[in-house]
Amino acid sequence: MIRVAIAGYGNLGRGVEHAVAQNPDMTLVGVFTRRDPATLKPASGAPAFSLADVAAHKNDIDVMIVCGGSATDLPKQTPALAADFCVVDSFDTHANIPAHFAAVDEAAKAGGTLGAISVGWDPGLFSLARAYGGAILPDGADYTFWGRGVSQGHSDAIRRIDGVVDARQYTVPVESAVEAVRAGKNPTLTARQKHTRECYVVAAEGADLARIEREIKEMPNYFADYDTTVNFISQEELKRDHAGIPHGGSVIRSGKTAGGANTHVVEFSLKLDSNPEFTSSVLVAVARAVVRLHNEGKTGCVTVLDIPPAYLSAKSGEELRKTLL
Amino acid sequence: MIRVAIAGYGNLGRGVEHAVAQNPDMTLVGVFTRRDPATLKPASGAPAFSLADVAAHKNDIDVMIVCGGSATDLPKQTPALAADFCVVDSFDTHANIPAHFAAVDEAAKAGGTLGAISVGWDPGLFSLARAYGGAILPDGADYTFWGRGVSQGHSDAIRRIDGVVDARQYTVPVESAVEAVRAGKNPTLTARQKHTRECYVVAAEGADLARIEREIKEMPNYFADYDTTVNFISQEELKRDHAGIPHGGSVIRSGKTAGGANTHVVEFSLKLDSNPEFTSSVLVAVARAVVRLHNEGKTGCVTVLDIPPAYLSAKSGEELRKTLL
């Protein structure tokens, strides 16, 4: 049995708890939290511990899944935990991945542990799709479309506007752009041509709706470069119609062979009812691989690009060859 | 530079020749053939050699891509060549993969070489999609749809019927079945509900068309379990409209998390203008990985499931992390 622990008990931590229960070769040792552990009641009945005491559990845990946020938690927590534990995280601030990799690599090598960072679907499975696609079709281009799905970052940005009570933002791929890419047309696409942004906003009573809409649509980086629609709704409607956290998207590689004579299109796509639960499922499969690689003596930092796919599966190599090849 | 050689110069061998030219870190040493090498004029200008003399080239070749057929060539050629060379093949007789794996593993271990078998898209990339999908969503099911594309085996089966001059068979997925799977409905599907078979047949002058059509539609294993349409056309029409070898398909995994509360759908799909050219492109990327793994000391037999994805790419780990994650 692989002994798994969770650091951080938000949406992602709860997803990991569910995912561990789906894998009969794994057991959940406990949940570690910065809050008072007495206030935590994990749904699975697993015990809650203070994160401050984590080192005392060093010999009871094969792999720690770090479920904090990428902005401030993971850059500190993952290297710190890697001193004592094999770790897996979902660090997704793309530009800072090389620095985070270096920090975890150093800590894990010093501690004789193994860490896997940036695990999830993007970065993660989408990175895999790009790596395979690019290696197989070097003369080509790839495109990533996200959605239809909830962007937490864009929803938060709307909530910071004066007069906004709550908000939900959906990123939506432009269907005609997706179709052009699928047809192997290799189009050049601006941000605006690839995605639209749909906002559902609950405004404070008496707020100036025209101003809020304008502030959203003109917000640089987040909305100004996109065709954005703003829908004002009630708090009840938001709760009733927009409670879920769906997401998804596609990585499409199109490339040519035989001097351009033939075109091939490779597509990897996801349609997820719950973004954090799916991300958690990827984290748990990679946690299995991390334990196996560490048992073979590997230390330092890896990403999904470094892990043989068979290591993610509970099945033996023999069984995989017989049933999947 | 990775020094690549090709054994066998049919559609697949010619595809490998094109693919090597697309990869600047590779060079084509030569093409080995059972025919008289003087009759072979490789398009790239690479030299042709007799396969009987291959052992003399042992020190000039880093990896041999074996481009024979799965029925009779590869079961003999791949283990024989593995005695002296790192090898890659596209062995695709699914039921015999474990035996082929064992034979190549034994020969490669004895020779101190590394072999990768069953490389291509199915088996190959589709196997990867099944492995990742199953590891991440253990509570789920996967579905494979092939086509729309030319099935060489089914085309050959039609050609063996008395009175048939030539034939081309397309395997076509049933769109409503694909949509049900994509919607996460997890349907139970018979062979007939998943694919139809479209046949284009050139009959001999005066042949009994009704008999030919009946013999096709009633052929066990190949056609009897499918809704099959038979179109009689002229040799000119066959040549004009059905000269290509397109193929493709999808592997779709749908699975549930959180005790069944949420459904996720993972899809990997291909749309290929030329089946052999795409398969060749996969072979060449895997050949790069085989050379790297062998340089690290690995011997024996592997499949794509055993190879870290980054090893397929010409880019460094650092570059991949920076650009793909």
Residues with Cβ < 8 Å from A53, sequence gap 6 or more? none
The answer to whether residue B53 scores a pLDDT higher than 90 is yes
Q: Exposed, middle or buried: residue B19 (CB in 10 Å: 0-12, 13-18, 19+)?
A: buried
Structure ipTM: 0.96
* CB contacts, 8 Å: A184 with chain B: 271
Q: pLDDT tens for residues B1-46? A: 999 999 999 999 999 999 999 999 999 999 999 999 999 999 999 9
Alpha-carbon distance B234 to nearest alpha carbon in chain A (angstroms): 26
Task: Return d(Cα A109, Cα A287) in angstroms, integer.
Answer: 18
Name the token pair of A85: 């534990």
Q: pLDDT tens for residues B104-152? A: 999 999 999 999 999 999 999 999 999 999 999 999 999 999 999 999 9
Return the pLDDT at B256: 97
* CB contacts, 8 Å: A19 with chain B: 257
B258, B318, B320 member nearest A131 (Cβ): B320
Residue range A289-305: mean pLDDT, rounded: 98
* CB contacts, 8 Å: B280 with chain A: 257
Residue range B254-280: mean pLDDT, rounded: 96
Cβ separation B310–A131 shorter than 8 A: yes
Name the token pair of B195: 């694919």
The answer to whether residue A259 scores a pLDDT higher than 90 is no
B128, B268, B274 member nearest A309 (Cβ): B128
Average pLDDT of chain B is 97
The answer to whether residue B259 scores a pLDDT higher than 90 is no
Residue range A170-175: mean pLDDT, rounded: 98
Contact between B9 and B40 under an 8 Å Cβ cutoff? The reply is yes
Residue range A5-33: mean pLDDT, rounded: 97
Cβ separation A118–B272 shorter than 8 A: no
Comparing C-alpha atoms, which of A103, A92, A171, A156 is closest to residue A126? A92
Q: What are phi and psi of B242, to 5 degrees?
A: -135, 35
- What is the DSSP code string of B52-82? GGGGGGGGG-SEEEE---TTTHHHHHHHHHH
* CB contacts, 8 Å: B182 with chain A: 271
The answer to whether residue A131 scores a pLDDT higher than 90 is yes
A281, A307, A314 member nearest B308 (Cβ): A307
pTM score, two decimals? 0.97
Return the pLDDT at B204: 98
Residue range A72-87: mean pLDDT, rounded: 98
| Residue in chain B nearest A324 by alpha carbon | B127
The answer to whether residue B210 scores a pLDDT higher than 90 is yes
